[in-house]
C-alpha cells in the first residue's frame, strides 16, 4: 500500500454510558463514505476516562468488543480505540485493534496517569505493540504515553536488505484535557520530528463526569513536523491520507534515524 487512509473521529463522550457512546460512534462511522483503511476512536471511547473499572470493565468477549467486530466487518475497516478490560482479576486501559475478519490485537497502556489516580485502578502494560497494514507499521499508544519519549522512540531493525526504522506511524488515542492542549500539540509534533514518522493523535471534546474539559485538537503530522490536519473544538470526522513515498523521501534525504542510539527497554 503506497497510501494509508485513516478516519479520525473526534466527539464528546457521554459519561459512563456505553449504549449512548456506541450509538453515537456507529452513527458517525456510517457517515464515512470515502474509502478508508482504519477508523480511530478516542481513549475509553465507550465510557469516558473513568476510575470505576469495577462497574464498567468488560471481558474480551464483552459488548464493546463484539460491537467493534461487527462494525469492522460491516464497513470492511480496521477499528481501533481503547476500552476498559478486565483480565486475570486486573483492569487494563486497553487499545483494541480490530480487523474485519474478527481478529483482535491489543496494547495495554504503559503509563497510567497518576494525577487522576489511574495507577490505583489499572495495571500498566509492559509491551509495545506495532501493527502492520499493507506494509505500513503502526506503533499503538494511549494518551499519557505521549509524555514519555523513550517508550515511543524508533528502534532500528535489520534484515538481509539492511537497517531500517521500526515503524512508519505513531498513533495516540486520548482523553487529553483542554488545560494542557499546548503540551498535546507540542509533544505530538516533537514525536513526529524525532522519530521521522507520521503521528496521529485522536482526542475527545466536551466535559467528563469530573468536570474536566477537552478541546479536541485531533491531529495528523508528517515526518518533518508539518501539521497535515488539526480539528477544531467540535464534533468532527475527518479522513487523512498518508503517503509512503513522502515518508521514504524524508528518511532518505535526512537519514537521522540511522545515527540513533541503540537501547533496550526493560519491563
Cell readout for 32 is 464515512
Q: Among the options 18, 58, 118, 143, which is catalytic?
A: 143
112 in catalytic set: no
Q: Is 143 a catalytic residue?
A: yes
Distance of CA 177 to the CA centre of its chain: 16
Classify residue 88 as left (phi > 0), alpha (psi -120 to 50) or beta: left
Catalytic residue among 43, 58, 112, 118: 43
Residue written as cell 473526534?
10
Question: Which has the closest alpha carbon to 199: 265, 266, 149, 249?
Answer: 149
Q: Which three cell numbers stand for residue 51?
A: 476510575
Residue spans of beta strands (DSSP E) within the chain: 3-10, 38-40, 78-87, 90-98, 104-108, 130-133, 136-142, 156-159, 162-165, 169-173, 198-202, 205-207, 213-215, 219-221, 227-230, 236-243
- Annotated catalytic residue, options 69, 109, 112, 118: 109
Pairing of strands 38-40, 3-10: parallel
196 and 250 Cβ atoms separated by less than 8 Å: yes
Q: d(Cα 260, Cα 82) in Å, to the nearest integer?
A: 31
Catalytic residue annotation: 43, 109, 143
Amino acid at each position: 500500500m503506497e497510501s494509508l487512509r485513516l478516519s479520525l473521529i473526534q466527539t464528546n463522550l457521554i459519561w459512563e454510558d456505553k449504549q449512548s457512546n456506541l450509538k453515537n460512534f456507529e452513527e458517525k462511522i456510517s457517515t464515512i463514505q470515502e474509502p478508508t483503511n482504519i477508523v480511530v476512536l478516542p481513549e475509553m471511547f465507550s465510557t469516558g476516562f473513568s476510575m470505576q473499572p469495577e462497574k464498567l470493565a468488560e471481558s474480551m468477549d464483552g459488548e464493546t468488543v463484539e460491537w467493534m467486530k461487527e462494525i469492522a466487518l460491516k464497513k470492511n475497516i480496521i477499528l481501533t480505540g481503547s476500552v476498559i478490560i478486565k483480565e486475570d482479576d486486573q483492569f487494563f486501559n486497553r487499545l483494541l485493534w480490530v480487523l474485519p475478519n474478527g481478529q483482535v490485537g491489543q496494547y495495554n497502556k504503559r503509563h497510567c496517569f497518576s494525577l487522576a489516580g489511574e495507577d490505583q485502578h489499572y495495571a500498566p502494560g509492559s509491551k509495545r505493540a506495532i501493527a502492520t497494514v499493507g506494509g505500513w507499521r503502526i506503533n499503538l499508544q494511549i494518551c499519557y504515553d505521549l509524555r514519555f519519549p523513550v517508550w515511543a522512540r524508533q528502534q532500528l531493525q535489520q534484515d538481509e536488505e539492511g537497517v531500517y526504522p521500526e515503524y512508519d506511524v505513531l498513533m495516540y488515542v486520548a482523553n487529553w484535557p483542554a488545560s494542557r492542549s499546548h503540551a498535546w500539540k507540542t509533544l505530538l509534533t516533537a514525536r513526529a520530528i524525532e522519530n521521522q514518522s507520521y503521528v496521529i493523535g485522536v482526542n475527545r471534546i466536551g466535559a467528563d463526569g469530573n468536570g474536566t474539559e477537552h478541546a479536541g485538537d485531533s491531529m495528523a503530522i508528517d515526518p518533518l513536523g508539518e501539521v497535515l490536519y488539526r480539528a477544531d473544538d467540535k464534533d468532527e470526522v475527518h479522513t487523512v491520507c498518508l503517503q509512503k513515498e513522502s515518508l521514504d523521501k524524508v528518511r532518505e534525504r535526512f537519514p537521522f534515524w540511522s545515527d540513533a542510539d541503540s537501547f533496550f527497554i526493560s519491563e
